[in-house]
Amino acid sequence: MLLEERSVTRAGARLGLTQSAVSHALSRLRHGLGDELFVRGPDGMRPTPRALEIGAQVHAAIHQLQTALSTTDFDPAKSERRFTIAAGTYASAVIAPSLVARLAAEAPLTELALSDYAPAVIDALDARQADFVIGGVVAAPERFARETLLVEELAWVVNVDSPLARRPVVDLAALAATPHVVISRRPPGQADEAAVRRGVLTRPSWEDAGALEAALAAEGLRRRVGVTVSDTYAALAIAARSEMAALVPRRLARLSAARGTLKLIEPPYASPPVEVGLMFLRERLAEPPIAWMRDVLREVARGIA
């Protein structure tokens, strides 16, 4: 409970215990385990690496007990369950509309919550506060199952009135001479240290695995980075209102280009596809609602053009 609340007072309220009782229990655990477990920080009680490790194991044990004692019946048409999916801009725009339509038809009483794709999402999965993650997780501990939902291609987008859009052919030199909008969820070279310590590696951006840089190097060219943003919608908005170019997922680019302000440009170099993955706690497939939603997500993704 303290892992979730990060507050002795709030944890005690949920447990029906006084703050003093929770503090005494924490002291006994610290003594017995030889670890501080939680240290006070500006944003509450921060768990130590040992607390995070123990917490995941305790959550798993409690969940197994709850699963064993609970009913296995699940009727989507009658269920009022809340499904929480951590998803970024791409999944919210490309996958969510079809998913919402599917749930409206087959599980009209359920609730879908799309939470932000943030570093704390691993804790949320372990604590059962999130059911799935859709995004660019490329490596994770064995307790997590990972599978590919979609394979996405990348395309460059520019304002329809920009010089690059008016060129009959966009070659690599012209693309390099145009300022770029770069999408990155974190500063260049900076990893999510907490996630890395826990064995989770994520794709930091929609960049094409170094394909552009390799092509530029082969021609003796360098790109011009005009601005770096943290999400795809910001990149699309800037590209639509400037003479900068942005490399974005093709499906999302098509949605934006349909408004008439952006033009898609094929990469003038070999650009590899990017996988959009689904991740969840492997053991949760024993829960009928989770197994059902995993199948729904698979089917929805297969139907997206």
pLDDT tens-digit profile of 63-111?
555 555 555 579 999 999 999 999 988 999 999 999 999 999 999 999 9
Please state the domain count of the chain: 3
Classify residue 185 by its DSSP letter: S
Query: Dihedral sign, CA of 246, 251, 255, 258?
Result: positive
With the CA atoms of 230, 232, 234 and 238 taken in that order, what torsion angle do they form, in degrees rounded to the nearest 10?
A: 120
Q: Using one digit for the tens of pLDDT, what is the confidence trace for 131-180?
A: 999 988 888 888 999 999 999 999 999 999 999 999 999 999 999 999 99
Pair (184, 100) in one structural domain: no
Q: Answer yes or no: is 175 within a domain.
A: yes
Q: Answer yes or no: is 209 within a domain.
A: yes
Task: Count other Cβ atoms within 10 Å, centred on residue 76.
Answer: 19
Q: Answer yes or no: is 149 within a domain.
A: no
Pair (103, 166) in one structural domain: no
Is the pLDDT reported for residue 13 higher than 80? Answer: no
Domain hosting residue 182, numbered range: 154-272
* Mean pLDDT, rounded, for 192-196: 53
Pair (210, 183) in one structural domain: yes
Q: Answer yes or no: is 76 within a domain.
A: no
Q: What is the CATH number of the domain that holds 59?
A: 1.10.10.10
Pair (95, 132) in one structural domain: yes
Q: Answer yes or no: is 77 within a domain.
A: no
Pair (106, 169) in one structural domain: no
Q: Answer yes or no: is 75 within a domain.
A: no
Q: Answer yes or no: is 268 within a domain.
A: yes
Three-state SS for 273?
coil
**Among 153, 155, 152, residue whose Cα is nearest residue 247:** 155
Pair (169, 120) in one structural domain: no
Pair (263, 287) in one structural domain: no
The mean pLDDT of the chain is 85
